[in-house]
Amino acid sequence: MKRHTRSPHSQSPNHLMTQSLRGMSIGVIGAGNMGRALINGLVTNSFPPSHLVIVESDRQRGQAVRRRYHVGVASLPEVARRCDVLILAVKPQDLRGVLLELRKALRARGKRMLVVSIAAGVQTISIERILGRVPVVRVMPNLPATVGCGMAALAKGRFAASADLRVAKAIFRSVGEVVELPERDFDAVTALSGSGPAYFFLIFQALRDAGIHCGLPKGVARRLAIQTAKGSAALASQTDEELEKLIARVASKKGTTEAALTVFRRDGLTRILQRGVRAAVKRSRELSRSASV
């Protein structure tokens, strides 16, 4: 069985201190769930807190993050002046105001800055229309980044270089795995990995409830469902075997697994999941068309 070594958690604690990030200063606009996850991931992986600065409109939240991680707190113009990389971790509806203020700060700055946006549905060209010829990398992360097991897709804008993409990858590897894709694929990414955690939580819930119905205590049923999923994901990620072959390894002829799989196939579980993902892709495209800054 072939094992992969791409996971950031299998690398040394100082793996982020590579040429991609060494000596850089990073500003994080917005200290919500994803902003805090990135700060935690960077600091945990030995990025110096003194090189991190946050901008947070909620003063109490900003001070809590400052105390916990020993990072700086500053205004947007100051962060734009001080930092080499700016991560836009604000809600899409708040992005335009941030970009307009940032445009003024960048004009006064007079030197290059990389802008990394995680605003859902907002294309790089929309950000470039406001900021001008600024390198922009768009990222679609997901909720498991908050526990260091995220999956993020990255796409660079028209003015971003390969070096900018390497910087963005290094940042998001601090909270999970990354993949580079064309921006046109981001609706599919949103539907699969962005929304995907909720699909798995629903499956966990269904398995937990099935266990309860079969007589297991609620806590035990929950633990069995989640740990089985965790182990299955670990096994699948550490082998080159196709998923169909992994299914066959568990399902012996006329056994318990085959009995369950027969019901799932008969009742259309696979088709239901695929239709759900397609519906999410369609909705993501609708939201992307309506998103504007």
Q: What is the pLDDT of residue 18?
A: 61
User: Are 148 and 176 spatial neighbours (Cβ–Cβ below 8 Å)?
Assistant: yes
3-state secondary structure the chain: CCCCCCCHHHCCCCCCCCCCCCCCCEEEECCCHHHHHHHHHHHHCCCCHHHEEEECCCHHHHHHHHHHHCCEECCHHHHHHHCCEEEECCCHHHHHHHHHHHHHHHHHHCCCCEEEECCCCCCHHHHHHHHCCCCEEEEECCHHHHHCCEEEEEEECCCCCHHHHHHHHHHHHHHEEEEECCHHHHHHHHHHHHCHHHHHHHHHHHHHHHHHHCCCCHHHHHHHHHHHHHHHHHHHHCCCCCHHHHHHHHCCCCCHHHHHHHHHHHCCHHHHHHHHHHHHHHHHHHHHHHCCC
Q: What is the pLDDT of residue 8?
A: 43
Distance CA 249, CA 244 (A): 9
User: Are 80 and 86 spatial neighbours (Cβ–Cβ below 8 Å)?
Assistant: yes
Distance CA 135, CA 148 (A): 26
Q: Which residues pair with 156 in a beta bridge?
A: 137
Q: What tokens were used for 286?
A: 């609708």
Residue labelled with tokens 């990072």: 71
Q: What is the pLDDT of residue 30?
A: 95
Distance CA 290, CA 286 (A): 6
List per-residue pLDDT tens for the chain, 293 residues long: 444 434 444 454 455 556 788 889 999 999 999 999 999 999 999 899 999 999 999 999 999 999 999 999 999 999 998 899 999 999 998 999 999 999 988 887 777 899 999 999 999 999 999 999 999 999 999 999 999 999 999 999 999 999 999 999 999 999 999 999 999 999 999 999 999 999 999 999 999 999 999 999 999 999 999 999 999 999 999 999 999 999 999 999 999 999 999 999 999 999 999 999 999 999 999 988 877 77
Q: What is the pLDDT of residue 287?
A: 87
